[in-house]
Structure 1
Amino acid sequence: MTSPANRTRSDAVRNRDLLVSAAREVLAEQGLDAPMSAVAKRAGVGQGTLYRHFPDRATLATAVLEENVRDIEQVAARPDATLADVLGVVTWQMIRSTAFVGIIRLSSEESSRQLADRVRTTIDGLPKDTHDTDEVMLAVAMVSGAVHGPTPEAREATARRAWGMLGIEIGPVTPGV
């Protein structure tokens, strides 16, 4: 039998996961300025629950970015992972999450810098025969700046054109999980 304390902890974990998932969707649709209440509503929890987990917009956006970075790290950890595979996941995040692009650009905050460093380390750990990490990170920044359009499909087409112009192959554009 589960004790009330364990049930509370599991509810808190479930609520946090729901909030991060909802934030990923809401921020992708509405950008970093999306109302926090929209995230709580999408997650099916009260605003008090949202603010207990994430006291401000930056903390919530950082949690979404943290999840994105974990997705990148998981793909890169596969034994047969290539740079193209990792860039496919990065591209998915660019086209599905305006928040991801916005947070990349707001790298002045320590937490964002740390997450960007984790992406750099992940790319640096891939086989070196095809890339220079500094150039790849610059290309990611350039492509993220080019990604625009009213729909994910339009943004993907723009991202693919930008990668192609840079002569960089990307793998399947998927969340990678």
Structure 2
Amino acid sequence: MSNSAVNNRKTRSDKERNRSHILDVATEFFAEQGVDGPMHDIAKRAGFGPGTLYRHFPTREDLLAALLEARWDELFARRDVIERSERDSAAALQAWLDALSDYVTVFDGLPDPLRVALSKDTSPLAITCETLVDTTGQFLAAAQRDGRAHSWVGARELFLGVLASVWVGGAALADEASTSALRPLLRAGWEKPSAPHLEHGRRTDGDA
């Protein structure tokens, strides 16, 4: 093997090692400081200059996208368990929304950049949002086919609902119970009762 090939391989190995180290440090940093923490502090903690950080991750969104993609295996393992074990489509959808809520609470402040990415196709986080919305849509479609979810509910709105619930949980006026209290409230909005409800002789289910 030529010296040039050896040097190229070493350079690639160094880059991969540096990238992995930055991701490990950023995971700890964002967990402590939230997603708005200064990028140059991440570089400093990692022992690099800002240039090294920005060569790997030009923007904060690039870094967040890489961190979230690194956790996809864990999230979609939960999806697979839900698909295998939950026969009730409404319960399956709720279990997925719970998993999604846990996923986007890994760092304080994460819901906001994800919300922004939904309307910006050029955002590095856009593909993450699209993947999460698409998976939500699969669970929602199954519940709608079974008559367990309202037909007018959309996957994008459910995803935004999860982000909003998580955001509220981190608001100054919230307490420890706020996020968990909002989950059944969100479910009440999308779930269609298995049997029509009657009130004063009229159906109250708008999909009936």
Report the TM-score, using the length of structure 1 for normalisation.
0.69
List aligned pairs for 1:3-152, cutoff 5 A. Answer: 3-69=6-72, 71-78=74-81, 80=84, 82-107=92-117, 108-110=119-121, 111=123, 112-126=125-139, 128-129=142-143, 131=149, 134=155, 136-148=158-170
Write the letter of the residue equivalent to 2:120: E
Report if the CA contact (8 A) 1:123-1:133 is conserved: no
Higher relative contact order (CA 8 A, sep 6+): 1
Report the TM-score, using the length of structure 2 for normalisation.
0.61
Judged with a 3 Å threshold, the aligned counterparts in structure 2 of structure 1 residues 43 and 92 are, in CA distance, closer, same or farther, namely farther
Distance (whole Å) between structure 2 residues aligned to residue 138 and residue 99 of structure 1 = 14
Gaps of 5+ in 2: 86-91, 189-208
State the partner residue of 2:88.
none
- How far did 1:141 drift? 3.0
Write the letter of the residue equivalent to 2:13: S
RMSD: 3.3
* Bigger proportion of residues as helix: 1
Write the letter of the residue equivalent to 2:169: V
Report if the CA contact (8 A) 1:69-1:115 is conserved: no
Report if the CA contact (8 A) 2:109-2:167 is conserved: no
Write the letter of the residue equivalent to 1:72: L
- How far did 1:19 drift? 1.7
Distance (whole Å) between structure 1 residues aligned to residue 100 and residue 115 of structure 2 = 14
Report if the CA contact (8 A) 1:28-1:97 is conserved: yes
Judged with a 3 Å threshold, the aligned counterparts in structure 2 of structure 1 residues 137 and 58 are, in CA distance, closer, same or farther, namely closer
Number of matched pairs: 164
- How far did 1:50 drift? 0.9
Per-residue CA distance 1:45-73 (angstroms, 9 max, x = gap): 44332121012323223323443556434
Gaps of 5+ in 1: 169-177
Judged with a 3 Å threshold, the aligned counterparts in structure 2 of structure 1 residues 102 and 19 are, in CA distance, closer, same or farther, namely farther
Judged with a 3 Å threshold, the aligned counterparts in structure 2 of structure 1 residues 21 and 77 are, in CA distance, closer, same or farther, namely farther
Q: Which structure has the bigger radius of gyration? A: 2
Per-residue CA distance 1:115-159 (angstroms, 9 max, x = gap): 211101122234823556525324313312312168xxx66x432
